[in-house]
Amino acid sequence: MKKLLFIIVLIISLFSLSCNHNKLNSSLTSSIGKVGEITVNPLGVTPLSAVYTTATVNATPITVTVKGLYGEPDIIHTYPAGYGTEFEIHGMFPESQNTIEVNDGGRIITKNVYVESLPNGIQKKYDVAVNNLPEEKYPNNPELYFVSPNQNWSGWKGVLGISDNGYIRYANTIITYFSKIHINNSKISFFDTYEGGDTNPGLYDLFGNRIIKYPTIAHHDVIKVDNNYIYLSISTWGSGDRLVEMNSYGSKVIELSFGKLIQNTLDLKTYPEDEEVFKKIVFGDDVNNIYVDSSGQQKLIDWFHANSLVYDSSTDILYVSSRERGVLAINYSEWRLIWWMADDSLLSTGNYKPYQVYFRDLKSLEPYRVKGDVINDGPKNQHALFLHKNGNLGMFDNQGDKATNPNGSRYVEYKITGTHGNYTAQKVYEYRDSSLYSRIMSDVDFTGENYQNLLLTYADPTARILEVEKNTKNVLFRVDLPFYTYRVEKMPLYYDEGRVYSEDCNLKNPN
């Protein structure tokens, strides 16, 4: 009996050791590792976001979920195996009890967190006037309308992501004004600019980590060209009249001057009188023409105010919007003017414009002028250029620099043909609501699976955001906000492989 009992005990002991050994091997080779932690607002600048961290790179997929409230959907994203050790979680609601759930290899980690109200009077929901949008193709990673409220409005600075029902589901307080939302290494990222005194503009991820810092002050717009970036910058005495190309490490490759571009286009042998006219248009240290007022004080003259860029890599043409002077096409490699266009009635009432003198007053620039429809139906103080696949050039045409305009602003599109001395523009499309006017700041993007919709931002004095079906001109979405906004982009919080994303400026050869 004792012998039998000994055998039974031995078998049980061996089985127990075997099980413990398997458990030990399992813990050493487990794809789960130790249970990670969820940290809300990890950098202190994204109150509606969190991060899930693990000790080692995930060997199996990890799914993060923010539970929907108020009829809004759950926002869910699955990170593939081998992604890393930090997993972004976005989509919480302010003034709400939120639930975050992480599925880490079958283990469920849950965190319940109450998020306080956002500062400076930002609401948790804004009333949507029109929502006739089609059914969301990605219901658990829906597109949001990202806006940059003016930081002078109640002290707010940052970015908000608004759902099509009007709920705030993303907030960022480190970005001053974003110029674009960019997909960087399969992540949604912001191009920040210098507006409002930000001393650290650059490319940021959704958490507020800076990926690239600009080597000089950035103004209004940034585009990616191959592996480099081109952005608008400023000079000491000419304000927004320079352009900088930097590499992916944030080092300056070249800095170019719009003042020198115009100066080098002058034909002073044929038109010597252009020298004096030029000095009443172009100011700054680049052209040795710093304005001095009647009291003997040097004054910065914002004579050009570049606000939008598009680059056509197939032709090496850089299209530039100058709020004060019109639209220019430039041979980028040679930094040489190809053409310019503006309405004959273009006027400027901005600060420190000592003379009402324009490109049309320079005889040297006459052969470069685009004629046709743009002479009397051309852009005035426009923003947000857009290059289409067929080469047509669209833009948000603010239509003047007055406090009010009974005709409203518009989106307009031109087909430009011809050669030097004979460039002609034909207006091929216009969307205008005479009740909507924006004197300064505005934006236009194209959205939809076939880029069939216009996303229009009438930014000033307060933001009115419309999404319009281009062909029918039916309004699909409208929200009016109590602040003005720099830009509006429609993007999801997470990158999905194969998804069609809205385009900000270039459908011909986007980067």
Binned at pLDDT 50, 70 and 90, residue 205 comes out as very high
Residue 236 DSSP symbol: T
Instruction: Give the tens place of pLDDT for each residue, 315-360.
Output: 999 999 999 999 999 999 999 999 999 999 998 766 567 899 999 9
The answer to whether the beta carbons of residues 329 and 405 sit under 8 Å apart is no
Give backbone dihedrals phi and psi of 27, rounded to 5 degrees, phi first. -70, -30
Q: Which two tokens stand for residue 257?
A: 């001057």
Q: Please enumerate in sequence order all residues whose Cβ is within 8 A of that of 52, keeping only pairs 6 or more positions apart, or say none.
A: 36, 37, 38, 39, 62, 64, 86, 87, 89, 102, 104, 109
Nearest by Cα to 426 from 398, 392, 459? 392
Stretch 450-471: mean pLDDT: 96
Q: Where are the beta strands (DSSP E) in 381-503?
A: 383-387, 393-397, 410-417, 424-432, 442-447, 453-458, 464-469, 475-480, 485-491
Phi and psi angles of residue 80, each rounded to the nearest 5 degrees, phi first: -70, 160
Q: What is the mean pLDDT of residues 370-383?
A: 97
Q: Among 210, 145, 142, which Cα is nearest to 175's?
A: 210
Residue 306 confidence class, pLDDT cut points 50, 70, 90: very high
**Rounded to whole angstroms, how far apart are CA atoms 325 and 311?**
19
Whole-prediction pTM: 0.91
The chain-wide mean pLDDT, for the chain, equals 90
Spatial distance between the Cα atoms of 159 and 149, rounded to a whole number of angstroms:
7
Q: How does pLDDT run across 495-507, given as a tens digit for each residue?
A: 999 999 999 999 9
pLDDT digits (tens, 9 = 90+) for 55-76: 999 999 999 999 999 999 999 9
